Amino acid sequence: MGNEVRALAKARIGARVLGAQLVEQPWWLNPRHYGEDLGYNIVAPVRANLSRAWTPTVTVGRAEFSGWDYEQTMRELAPKLPDRFVLRHASGMAGGLLAIASERAFIAERLGVVQQKTLPGSRDTTIGVHVRCGDFASGEVQPGKFNLRLGMDWTEAAAIAVAKGCSGPIRFLVFSDASGEDLDPLKRMVSSLSTFGTAELSGGRVLDDLRELAGCDWIIPSVSSFSMLAIYLSTARYVWPEVHLVEHGTFGSIWG
């Protein structure tokens, strides 16, 4: 989801700054079935691709965007564009979430992420726990390196530490793509967390999980763009593994 959202947000920035039409991705082609929630969007991408046969195509890739301000890149590009053009946004995740900060509200609305307003004493403290398995490699987590699995011992310890620091009832919501041999250790962790409050393992779709995770009071992440997106779209407090941070003197950064 993190890859798709960055592309969509950059396309929206381009459309807004350049006064162009926004053409979203063909969601019906996505293997995670995002089209069921976001609309299949079959016609518009086909029409845009066909128009490239007679309309100049301009591609903004990593070579054209290497900074942090995508709006500025679009403003600098504007006077160089012909009267008619098709603009392709192909810089991937370059610039991180800072590059698309202006589109936070748009992305939240588009994905159906709604911030829950909590009244004092109205509900439990909800701790969202994201455990990414799937195609993520096992190995030592290194500063700035994504797509590596965090050990479940770290995840469990972080969730328990947060729970112990909260007052009142605790509810753990655990989100994961675990399957096969990864399920047993995941279930053991959920059982362990239930000692400190109620603990539930979600079996929802990807977008449903994103919405619920972003709506939690605390987020215990995986080292993934999915967890980063949930944090970005939420007002939740969160923790992050120190071993993954990139050092900048006395500070550490998650991305870059």
Range of the domain at 197: 125-253
- Summarised one tens digit per residue, pLDDT across range 220-241 is 999 998 999 999 999 999 999 9
Total domains in the fold of the chain = 2
| Domain end call among 88, 111, 134 | 111
- Summarised one tens digit per residue, pLDDT across range 109-164 is 999 997 665 545 557 899 999 999 887 878 888 888 888 889 899 999 999 999 99
- Summarised one tens digit per residue, pLDDT across range 17-75 is 999 999 999 999 998 889 999 999 999 999 999 999 999 999 999 999 978 899 999 99
Please give the Cα distance from 189 to 87 (Å, whole number): 47
Q: What is 122-167 written as a DSSP string?
A: SSPEEEEEEE--TTPBPS---TT--SBPPPHHHHHHHHHHHHHTS-
Q: pTM value?
A: 0.88
Largest CA distance in the chain: 64
Indicate whether 152 and 71 sit together in one domain: no
Tabulate helix, strand, coil % of the chain (nearest 5).
Answer: 40, 15, 45
Question: Residue 118 domain-assigned?
Answer: no
Indicate whether 20 and 83 sit together in one domain: yes
Indicate whether 17 and 91 sit together in one domain: yes
Indicate whether 133 and 245 sit together in one domain: yes
Look at residue 66 in the predicted model and tell me its pLDDT: 76
Whether residue 18 contacts residue 71, with contact meaning beta carbons closer than 8 Å, is answered with no
Whether residue 252 contacts residue 232, with contact meaning beta carbons closer than 8 Å, is answered with no
Q: Provide the residue type at 67 as one letter.
A: G
